Amino acid sequence: MQKQGQVVIDAKSTDAALPLSTPPGGVPTLELAVGGAIRELRQRHKLTIAQVSEQANISRGMLSKIETGQITPGLDSLSRIARALGVSMSMLFRHYDVPDGGAQHVKQGQGMEVVRRGTKSGHSYELLAYDQGPVKLFEPFMISMDEQSETFPIFQHPGTEFIHMVEGSMEYRHGQALYVLEPGDTLTFQGEIAHGPERLLQKPIRFLSIIIYGGSAA
């Protein structure tokens, strides 16, 4: 049964752009606030319900119901969804939980493994910082590519991207230009121009990618 103030989305849908309604009184329920935060973060990265549900190991129908505030998810489900989206659980409760603004220390190899475009192509994305407030200013990733990386999606996004090559070598395309990146090399470019790996020359490959959004939201 639909609760007052909710918008029900078909659980079979892979995505939805319908807004969540606020109940009378102007204060959203916890379910609506958490669901809205999850959907906002997912759509910010142009991810489908299917992609996030697969990474979080929950069904598409359950994720759809969580996003629309129809069910109250358990902490384990929220934890897996948060990790798939590359945020801490507190980010899902940001309307209720004010961050302390302290420094964030991520030990080597302990960044969050998140789903992004390219994950299915054998790319591994380790998010090295998160929870930057309501407007995301930057995203730092350690990206790994191995023998399973066969196809390379083309990326376009707001802001400026900085790449620092750590291991291996590859040909990287930005617009019409091709660059050979080797350990220690860096490449800085506008994210709005189509870009992405063109050819893997020496594997495995690891490189640091920092996307700087400036004053606009990701």
Shared domain check, 22 and 76: yes
Express each pLDDT in 174-215 by its tens digit. 999 999 999 999 999 999 999 999 999 998 999 999 999 874
Q: If you count them, how many residues does the chain have? A: 218
H helices present in the chain, as ranges: 30-44, 49-56, 60-67, 75-85, 89-92
Tell me if the pTM is above 0.75: no
pLDDT at 100: 52
Shared domain check, 160 and 91: no
Query: How many structural domains does the chain have?
Result: 2
84 in a structural domain: yes
Domain CATH code at residue 125: 2.60.120.10
Based on C-alpha coordinates, what's the Rg of the chain? Answer: 19
Shared domain check, 121 and 37: no
CB of 83 within 8 A of CB of 112? yes
pLDDT at 38: 92
Which of 43, 71, 97 is the last residue in one of the domains?
97
The boundaries of the domain holding residue 2 are: 1-97
CB of 189 within 8 A of CB of 154? no
Q: Measuring CA to CA, which residue among 109, 107, 103, 143 is closest to residue 123?
A: 143
Cβ neighbours of residue 27 closer than 8 Å, sequence gap 6 or more: none
Cβ neighbours of residue 108 closer than 8 Å, sequence gap 6 or more: none
pLDDT at 102: 60
Which of 63, 97, 131 is the last residue in one of the domains?
97
107 in a structural domain: no
pLDDT at 188: 97
Shared domain check, 1 and 93: yes
Where do we find the tokens 């991207």? 161
Distance between CA atoms of residues 153 and 145, nearest Å:
13
Which of 52, 70, 97 is the last residue in one of the domains?
97
Shared domain check, 207 and 178: yes
Distance between CA atoms of residues 163 and 185, nearest Å:
8
Q: Which two tokens stand for residue 74?
A: 């358990």
Residues in the chain where the model's pLDDT stays below 70: 1-28, 94-102, 117-122, 131-135, 147-151, 215-218
Shared domain check, 145 and 204: yes
Distance between CA atoms of residues 5 and 2, nearest Å:
9
Where do we find the tokens 């918008």? 7
Shared domain check, 180 and 89: no
